[in-house]
Amino acid sequence: MLKTISLAQDQINLSLIDFYQQVRQRSEKICQPLAIEDYVIQTMADVSPPKWHLAHTTWFFETFLLIPYLNRYQVFHPQFGYLFNSYYEAVGKRHPRPQRGLLSRPTVEKVYQYRAYVDQAMAELINQLEKDQQISSLIILGLHHEQQHQELLLTDIKHILATNPLRPVYQTQNSTSSAELINFEEKWLDYPGGIYSIGYQGEGFSFDNESPRHQTLLQDYYFATRLVTNEEYLEFIEADGYSNPEYWLSEGWSTVQAERWQAPLYWEKIDGAWWIMTLGGMQPLQKDEPVCHVSFYEADAYARFCGKRLPTEAEWEIATAQVPIRGNFLETEKLHPTAALGMTRPDQMFGDVWEWTQSAYLPYPGYQPEAGAIGEYNGKFMCNQMVLRGGSCVTPISHIRPTYRNFFPPSARWQFTGIRLVK
C-alpha cells in the first residue's frame, strides 16, 4: 500500500534552529540527484535554474534578517543582492528573470559556500534573538518561502529534464501497481448553502493573503470526493475537446490554438499509446492516477464538457476545513500523483495535485499588505491569477493548510495542477 504522510506525524515541536536546519537541508537534498550541468539550465521564463533557487532562498535570509539584525554582519558578495533578488522593488535593481540561465557564475560550488556562510550567521542570529517575536516570525516566513521554492525546484527540474530529448531520470520512483490501489467511483458530498467564515485564524503561521477571516455566502453544492483521473480526461481528448470551442473560455481557446495544445503537458503519444514524462523518466500513462499539469483553461473546459464546474475557493475551504491533512506529499518521495485509495470519505483533499478553483486571486475584505519590501510578497500579484488549493505531491506537508491560497496565471501548466469538480 502506498505510504501517505500525516501532518500529525511531521509536526513535531521543533525548536526554531531545528526547523531552520531541517528546511535548509531539504533544499540541498532535492538537488543531490542533479548533475552539475543541470544546475544552470533555464528552459523558459517561468523556470529558474536550480542554482538560482538555492541562492535566492539564501539571499532572502541575508537581506531581510542578517543585514538589518546581526551586528557586524558582512555580506558574502556585494553583487549577490542584484543577482538573486526576485521581484522586491523596494530592495533594489535585479537581474532580469528570463536571463537567469545565462549566469555560469557564480559556480554551483560558490552558491553552496554562500548557503553555508549564511547558515552559520543565521545560527548565531537565532541563538541571540530567538525570543524576539518579530525576528522569529520573519525567520519562519523565510523558511516557508524556502518551502515554496522546494516545490519550484522540483517543478523546474522536471521541466528542465523533460525538455531534454534524452528524457533523463531524476530519481528512480517506487511504482505502485494498480493492483495495490483501489480506485473508487466518483461520489459527492452535499454542502448546504448559508453564511460561512473562511480565512486563517489562529496562533500558527499563515501568509498574509489568507487573512482576515471573513464571512461569505454559499449556495447549495456537491463536492467530488476525489480528483479527476487520466482516464476521465482522456474521454475529453477523444471527444475532440481540444478542437471544440464551445467548451473553452475565449482566452483559453486563443491559448489552445496559439500553443497547439492537444493534451496535458508532458503527455506524449508513442506507437499509439499515451506516455507521460515524470521525475522518474518516461512512464506509460496510468489511467487511475489524477490528471496533472493542466492549465486553468483546460480544467474549466473539462468541467464544462462534463456539465459541471470548478469549485470556488470558499467552497473548497469549507469542504476541507475539518479533513485531516494527510496524503501524497513531498515527504512520501514519490514525486508523482497517485490514484485515490478506496475510502468512503474524502481522503484525496490534500496532496497529489494543486486544485484549480474558479476564483480569481483577489484580496480578502479588509486585507492590508505588510509595510515595506515584505509587503510585496503576495499583495502585488492580485491581478490576472487564479487560486489553487490543497497542495501537491511536491508540497512539504508542514507548509500546507486548508486556508492556503496558491495562485498562478490561468495558462500555467508546469506546476503539479489538477482538477476537482463540483455541481
pLDDT in tens, the chain (423 residues): 344 454 443 344 579 999 999 999 999 999 999 999 999 999 999 999 999 999 999 999 999 999 999 999 999 999 999 999 998 988 899 999 999 999 999 999 999 999 999 999 999 999 987 678 889 999 999 999 999 999 999 999 999 999 999 999 999 875 544 444 455 677 899 999 999 999 999 989 999 999 999 999 999 999 999 999 999 999 999 999 999 999 999 999 999 999 999 999 999 999 999 999 999 999 999 999 999 999 999 999 999 999 999 999 999 999 999 899 999 999 999 999 999 875 545 568 999 999 999 999 999 999 998 878 888 788 889 999 999 999 999 999 999 999 999 999 999 999 999 999 999
Q: Report the domain count for the chain.
A: 2
295 vs 216: CA distance, rounded Å: 27
Residue 172 lies in a domain: no
Residue 195 lies in a domain: yes
**Crossing angle between the packed helical segments 108-129 and 50-61, to the nearest 10 degrees:** 30
pTM of the model as a whole: 0.94
Residues, the chain: 423
Asked if residue 396 has a cis previous peptide bond (ω within 30° of 0), the answer is no
Strand order across the beta sheet in which 5-6 lies: 5-6, 326-328, 350-351
- For 365, the grid coordinates are 475584505
Contact, 157 vs 37, CB < 8 A?
no
Domain of 336, in residue numbers:
178-418
What CATH number does residue 102 fall under? 1.20.120.450
Block residue for cell numbers 535554474: 49
Residue 306 lies in a domain: yes
Contact, 142 vs 125, CB < 8 A?
no
Please report, in angstroms and rounded to a whole number, the separation of the first and last CA atoms in the chain. Answer: 31
Instruction: Please tell me whether residues 280 and 396 are part of one structural domain.
Output: yes
Instruction: Please tell me whether residues 308 and 245 are part of one structural domain.
Output: yes
Instruction: Please tell me whether residues 133 and 239 are part of one structural domain.
Output: no
Contact, 366 vs 173, CB < 8 A?
no
Instruction: Please tell me whether residues 26 and 82 are part of one structural domain.
Output: yes
Instruction: Please tell me whether residues 131 and 191 are part of one structural domain.
Output: no
Residue 173 lies in a domain: no
Positions of E strands within 111-213 = 188-191, 194-198
Residue 169 lies in a domain: no
Instruction: Please tell me whether residues 256 and 390 are part of one structural domain.
Output: yes
- For 276, the grid coordinates are 507521460
329 vs 337: CA distance, rounded Å: 9
Q: Closest Cα to residue 100, out of 159, 40, 12?
A: 40
Domain's final residue, options 133, 163, 193 = 163
Instruction: Please tell me whether residues 146 and 205 are part of one structural domain.
Output: no
Domain's final residue, options 117, 133, 163 = 163
Residue 178 contacts by C-beta under 8 Å, 6 or more apart in sequence? 286, 288, 339
Q: What is the dihedral of CA 81, 87, 91, 92, to 10 degrees?
A: 70
Parallel/antiparallel/unpaired status of strands 273-278 and 267-270 = antiparallel
Domain's final residue, options 121, 140, 163 = 163
What DSSP element (H or E) covers 119? helix 108-129
Instruction: Please tell me whether residues 272 and 354 are part of one structural domain.
Output: yes
Asked if residue 106 has a cis previous peptide bond (ω within 30° of 0), the answer is yes
62 vs 54: CA distance, rounded Å: 13
Burial class (CB in 10 A: 0-12, 13-18, 19+), 192: exposed
- For 22, the grid coordinates are 531541517
Residue 120 lies in a domain: yes
Q: What is the CA radius of gyration of the chain?
A: 21
295 vs 284: CA distance, rounded Å: 22
Instruction: Please tell me whether residues 157 and 250 are part of one structural domain.
Output: no
195 vs 217: CA distance, rounded Å: 5
Residue 170 lies in a domain: no
Positions of E strands within 137-211 = 188-191, 194-198
Instruction: Please tell me whether residues 330 and 401 are part of one structural domain.
Output: yes
Instruction: Please tell me whether residues 199 and 312 are part of one structural domain.
Output: yes
Q: Give residue 11's pLDDT.
A: 45
Q: Give residue 179's pLDDT.
A: 40
**Crossing angle between the packed helical segments 50-61 and 16-31, to the nearest 10 degrees:** 160
Parallel/antiparallel/unpaired status of strands 350-351 and 326-328 = parallel
- 208 alpha-carbon distance from chain centroid: 17
Q: What is the dihedral of CA 179, 263, 153, 206, to 10 degrees?
A: -80
Residue 392 lies in a domain: yes
Q: What is the dihedral of CA 275, 358, 215, 377, to 10 degrees?
A: 70
What CATH number does residue 389 fall under? 3.90.1580.10
Instruction: Please tell me whether residues 217 and 157 are part of one structural domain.
Output: no
The distance between the two most distant Cα atoms of the chain, rounded to a whole number of Å, is: 66
